[in-house]
Structure 1
Amino acid sequence: MRSILKPALIMLSLLAAADAMAQAPSLAKCTRSANLLACVDADGNTYSVNTAGSTIYLRGLEAAGKRYWVQTNSRYGQLTFFTGIASDGETWVGYNQRIGWTTINRFSSSGGSSAKFTCSRITGC
């Protein structure tokens, strides 16, 4: 699995807890405004999350591979669909569905990666 896909999905799952992420220096150092969260982690990876209504725009740079990526998420109630593309041409699609405190995540990429994983506030991912 590409190293950026799972962190991007986990980031999306944690958007509801963006305040907690911005305050946890071990995860990343973040700056936030009304609808933009911009972060850099200990490895030099950078990413930002911008919201506009029910659409979420993610963008980032994977420092090790100098790979840029963007992802767009569209939320419909408890279901979020997402698509992304990276500077090396890889694309991915997927969705996550919130059911109570649990999130079911599924994605596949043009690089051959696919996964289904469940995250919970109690047990994690």
Structure 2
Amino acid sequence: MGNVLKCSLLSLSLLIAVDAWGQIPNLAKCTRSANLLACVDPDGNAYSVNTVGSTLYLRGFEVAGKRYWAQTSSRYGQLTFFTGLASDGEAWVGYSRRVGWTTINRFSSSGGSSGKFTCSRITGC
């Protein structure tokens, strides 16, 4: 009887989880291997993330701007530096610095935008 109850509860929880999954807004569909993550969202935007040691290689396609882009990030202790280039010629640079559970981010681009924002594991960005 105990096993039947466990199986019933497990089946019920799976049904609830599947129902909840159906209510989640459209999320990106991703596939993953040991070092590579590749995703496509419902709008057609696509990106991939490849890790080699402490270096992260990002590649993507942005539907709205109809442009391809690439970004490389390198981590040195609590600092991560990144540089990127898009197919329309825009380039950007920036860094992220971890301080406890907070990340301080700065960036600037050749398109004239720059900024600073802070993210926390508790409150988000």
State the TM bucket, normalised to the shorter chain: 0.7 to 0.9
Q: Which residue of 2 aligns with 1:57?
A: 57
Q: Counterpart in 2 of 1:33?
A: 33
Gaps of 5+ in 1: 1-23
TM-score norm. by structure 1 comes to 0.77
What is the TM-score of this pair, normalised by structure 2?
Answer: 0.77
Q: Between Structure 1 and Structure 2, whose CA radius of gyration is higher?
A: 2
In the alignment of these two chains, the number of paired residues is 102
Q: Secondary structure at the match of 1:122?
A: coil
Following TM superposition, where does structure 1 have runs of at least 4 consecutive aligned residues deviating by more than 3 angstroms? 24-27
Larger RCO, structures 1/2 (Cα 8 Å, 6+ apart): 1
Paired residue for 2:43? 43
Separation (CA, whole Å) in 1 of partners of 2:109 and 2:71: 12
Letter in 2 for 1:62: E
Question: What is the Cα deviation at residue 65 of structure 1?
Answer: 2.1
Structure 2: runs of 5+ lacking an equivalent: 1-23
- Taking structure 1 as reference, are residues 79 and 31 closer, same or farther at Cα in structure 2, changes over 3 Å only? same
Q: Percent identity?
A: 84
- CA pair 121-26 structure 1, distance change in 2 beyond 3 A: farther
